[in-house]
Structure 1
Amino acid sequence: MYRGQNKPTNILSFPFNKFIKFNYKLLGDLVLCKKIIERESLTYKKTLESHWAHITIHGTLHLLGYDHKTKKEAYIMEKLEKQIMLSLKYKEPYFF
């Protein structure tokens, strides 16, 4: 169980938020579940590469302080994910 959730997930983000030598900042750690990401890519009819990119971007945004607990937060985070994905020449990650 993690963060009150007792279920598998595609990614977990663990922020670090401390400076180390020479002012390099470590954002934290991402733990990705290959099995879930592969299953989701089939379910959502996305290429595996595109879905890996999206989930990595999603987790990195969490490390940068973004969240999706409220509709407003989700809107902001999903908009950023879409912009980043499109800038990397991937398709939109969400289909509304």
Structure 2
Amino acid sequence: MVDIVIEAEAWEAHGVPELAERAARNTLAHLGLPEDAEIALLATDDARIAVLNADFRAKEAATNVLSWPAGDLSAEEPGGFPAHPVADFPGEPAFLGDIALAFETCAREAEAAQRPFEAHVTHLVVHGVLHLLGYDHICDKDALLMERLEVEILGELGFPDPY
């Protein structure tokens, strides 16, 4: 379900394919969505994600995670639930979109928060998948919903509340 391109070698030692697959599947299952959806994930470094962040968000800095939904599933009302993804072709899984993770930023944040790297990256993948599904944190109602879902999903995966 998660097609991963490892662009930065530092990711190789951290089992990101299995970690991302588990996080994505559990996020979809928690929301009652089919687990056969497809996601593309780029495991990259700060230099590359800074370019992507500048190109797509006009922010000249590295960030931990970026996501590009394949479609707009956003809820119509703040704090509401987004629409369910639909496959482009009958019988095929829905393509949800792309996620990119930056190794150095993820590692720095995990260390600063005194959290295991695996827990932090799992949180970021869950966060990215929720964005692909139309969840956001622009207004307070949406942020509370998204954070609650993240805490619930991470708890099901055996990770503590990151907030």
* TM exceeding 0.5: yes
Amino acid at match of 2:114: K
User: How many residues align structurally?
Assistant: 94
Report the counterpart of residue 15 of structure 1 in structure 2.
69
Residues 16-35 of structure 1 aligned to structure 2 (within 5 Å): 16-17=70-71, 19-20=88-89, 22-35=91-104
1:69 aligned to which of 117, 138, 148: 138
CA distance in 1 between partners of 2:90 and 2:66 (Å): 26
Identity %: 37
Structure 1: which 4+ aligned runs deviate by more than 3 Å? none
* Structure 2 residue runs without a partner (length 5+): 1-53, 72-86
Q: Is residue 2:100 matched to residue 1:46?
A: no
The aligned amino acid for 2:130 is L
Instruction: State the shift of 1:50 in Å.
Output: 0.3
Q: Per the alignment, do residues 82 and 43 of structure 1 end up closer, same or farther by CA in structure 2, a change over 3 Å counting?
A: same
Q: Look at both structures and tell me which one has the larger radius of gyration over its CA atoms.
A: 2
Task: Return the match for 1:79 from 145, 148, 151.
Answer: 148
| Range that drifts further, 66-75 or 12-21 | 12-21
Give CA-to-partner distance per residue, 1:4-26, whole Å, 9 cap, x none. 43322101101124524623101
Give 1:60's aligned residue. Answer: 129
> Structure 2: how far apart are the matches of 1:22 and 1:91?
37
Q: TM-score, normalised by structure 1?
A: 0.89
